[in-house]
Amino acid sequence: MSFLTALGIIVFIALLFTLYKLKKPDTSLSRQVFTALVMGVVFGFALQLLHGGDIESIRPTLVWTDLPGDIYVSLLRMIIMPLVLVTMIAAVVKLQDAASLGKIGGSVIAILVFMTMIAAVVGIFVTNLFGLSAEGMVGGEREIARAAVLESRQPTVAGLSLAEVIVRFIPRNIFADLTEARDTSIIAVVIFGMLFGLAGLLVCREKPELAESIRKGTETIQAIVMRLVKIVMSLTPYGILSLMTYVVAGSNGSDILNLIGFVIASYVGLAIMFGVHGLLLSLSGNSPMEFYRKIWPVLTFAFATRSSAATIPLNIRTQIDKLNVPPSIASLSASFGATIGQNGCAGLYPTMLAVMTAPTVGINPMDPGFLLTLIGIVTISSFGVAGVGGGATFAALIVLPAMGLPVELAALLISIEPLIDMGRTALNVSGAMTSGKITSKLLGNQIESEEKPAQPVT
């Protein structure tokens, strides 16, 4: 182990200890997370300067500094399926009207898809605003190799029909889906939880003598799972410090500078979509400022981890405890939002790539027919992303071939993918929580019989 590597590890341990000492009962989670975020960014840049920007020489340090982040993300993934399953069962059992479940799901999905359609329009706007084009872009060996891999996977991805995607949502083996054996396991577990809860609700009606024990049993299990969530969430600042250190220290500055125009345009588009979320919240009678203040820790975590799925536990907990969203709505919006209608990955990103690529094959990207077709395909394919997994890259693999465009650009952008993906993931999660809050506002009176967990997590 070199001296610089040892020094970096020692400093990182000192930062972890500093975070621990800063943690006080009156310090909010959002403040702790923001502090960790800043520390991670500063330390990441310090590692870059210390090693002269040589990524390979930084990697031995990152092996150890990334350890807390890897452990934290693993623990989050551990509780995703139990949380989704138990929360869905408990929420449905508490419903007096089973039909409310269909209304909730329909509202959440409709809002997510509508926002994805708007994201496609925003993608077209910002791409033309910045004059972005794929003409003249030349990739190195890494990008060319990546393009070959994407080309080989494209037929499988693009070959899925909407009917096939829907079939993949249905659980076939719930035990396999609980291990995330399939790309659509989260949706499958949601559906199983709904059906299991519905069966419990029907038993309560058919055999009233069992109703109390069923409700108490589900509440007890839910309370235990939520306590487990609280334990894992207490580790969030340490995970954020580790993850941000890895992202900043492991970024290639020259690659980012070469494609800085695309990075800036992407974040302008993301900012516009956050504004769209705020506008929709305002139109539905909610306060955007209050909403974003309360979900800031969730967005920060999504930004650092680049994983909508890993954010589900914190997403559900925040919706229930901070936004006063009923558990059934929170569970559905968080789960569906991680797999269907992702504003950033399935809406904004593939649209920008399509508009940039069109001129390389002689297509006018401003042709009305092309734009309307693109918006339609992006909206429909936002369901398909969940069916094949893989986020923004796979969304591009569906949209670009469907528009008759080459997929090489998705590989050319691999160098800056992590930097953009952080913002996209935060937008995806914001969209999921926006759909939950709006649905709660629209259907709140119809599910007023539903109660929050007996022991809410604070």
Task: Please name which of 140, 143, 160, 155 lies closest in space to residue 410, comparing C-alpha atoms.
Answer: 143
Q: Model-level pTM?
A: 0.70
DSSP characters over 385-409:
HHHH--THHHHHHHHHHHTT--SHH
Per-residue pLDDT tens digits for 178-233: 887 876 777 788 789 889 988 988 898 889 899 889 889 988 998 898 888 888 87
Instruction: Supply φ then ψ for residue 328, to 5 degrees.
Output: -60, -45
* Cβ 349 vs Cβ 400: under 8 Å: no
CA 367 to centroid of chain Cα atoms: 32
Going by C-beta distance under 8 Å and a sequence separation of 6 or more, which residues neighbour residue 290?
A: none
Per-residue pLDDT tens digits for 395-420: 777 788 778 787 666 656 655 667 78
Domain 3-447: assigned CATH number: 1.10.3860.10
Rounded distance between C-alpha atoms, residue 247 and residue 244, angstroms: 5
- For residue 390, what pLDDT is reported? 47
Rounded distance between C-alpha atoms, residue 86 and residue 190, angstroms: 10
* Cβ 154 vs Cβ 397: under 8 Å: yes
Opening angle at CA 387, ends 386 and 391, nearest 5: 40
C-alpha count within 13 angstroms, C-beta hemisphere, residue 436: 32
Per-residue pLDDT tens digits for 90-99: 877 876 556 6
The structural domains of the chain, with segments of one domain joined by +, span: 3-447
Rounded distance between C-alpha atoms, residue 346 and residue 428, angstroms: 9
* Cβ 241 vs Cβ 15: under 8 Å: yes
Per-residue pLDDT tens digits for 125-177: 999 998 888 765 544 444 444 555 455 545 544 555 667 767 777 888 999 98
119-128, 241-250, 398-407: range with highest mean pLDDT: 119-128
